Amino acid sequence: MKKKTCAKVLSQICLAPGIYDMWLETKIAKDAAAGQFIGVYPNDKSTLLPRPISICEVDKEKSALRLVYRVAGKGTAEFSGCKDGDILDVLGILGNGYDLSLLKGKKVMLMGGGIGIPPMLELARELYIQNESLSEDEKSEIIIVVGYRDDKTFLRDDLERYGKVYIASEDGSVGTKGNVMNAIEAEKLSTDAICACGPMPMLRAIKKYAEEKNIPAYISLEEHMACGVGACLGCVVKTKEVDHHSHVNNARICTDGPVFEAGEVDI
């Protein structure tokens, strides 16, 4: 159930220019899973709506959520100034995440681009934990392909705990020069399934690649969200099926997603 509640800032550091890493203590952490997000309310009351931020990592024992976000406007700029002990109002848990049961026994490629990288960390962690309770033929092989602008490879060390990591950078300063698709080609990688989050051009390329290879791709769509609970229809995507809420061929990313099977959506 979605609820508005308080969260306490446990820590915050700057990972790269404009990229911040915040841990929040909040009781809604117990309901969080990979691919979901929360809404964080600025304390500035002139900004009425929460800012949607993907969940990077979950620590249910400590009732804590890790958020890695980019400063993109007034609200996130305010969050970047938070100190240990500060209190923020949050709304969550929001959205539908990745279905790990669909990935059992598969060679899974996790693909993240830019600020779409953080959700891949929790997904990699959950797959790794799931593997510990499965037989050998049910375990997922985890491959991680991530794309950065430059050599500021935030979360790289965290990701390497859970699988082999391949890197692409736009300026060629680390890994393959170019994007994640260039890294796949350069490293001659293959997979049975893809889970991805990142900018729309990247997701379109992944959808095309998955269709060519006849493999499933589960993509998390990053679009501007207003209400975060499906009421405003401000974050719709065209779909094959008719949405029961609007009665047209679309889905609300904030409630029906953000994760969709790539073949279900027109991007």
Question: So where are the chain's domains?
Answer: 3-94, 100-222
Has residue 222 got a pLDDT over 90?
A: no
Is residue 18 left, alpha or beta, with left meaning phi > 0 and alpha meaning psi from -120 to 50?
Answer: left
- This prediction's pTM: 0.92
- CATH placement of domain 3-94: 2.40.30.10
Which pLDDT does position 67 carry in this prediction? 98
Residue spans of beta strands (DSSP E) within 107-179: 107-113, 141-148, 164-169, 176-177
Q: What is the pLDDT of residues 34-92, one digit of tens each?
A: 999 999 999 887 777 889 999 999 999 999 999 999 999 999 999 999 999 999 999 99
12, 183, 267 from 147: Cα distances, Å: 23, 9, 20
Comparing C-alpha atoms, which of 231, 196, 267, 183 is closest to residue 2?
Answer: 231
Has residue 227 got a pLDDT over 70?
A: no
For domain 100-222, the CATH class is alpha beta
Mean pLDDT of 23-37: 97
Contact criterion met (CB below 8 Å) for 133 and 152: no
**Token pair for 63:** 């009732």
Contact criterion met (CB below 8 Å) for 56 and 115: no
Residue type, 96: N
- Whether cis (ω within 30° of 0) applies to the bond prior to 93 is yes
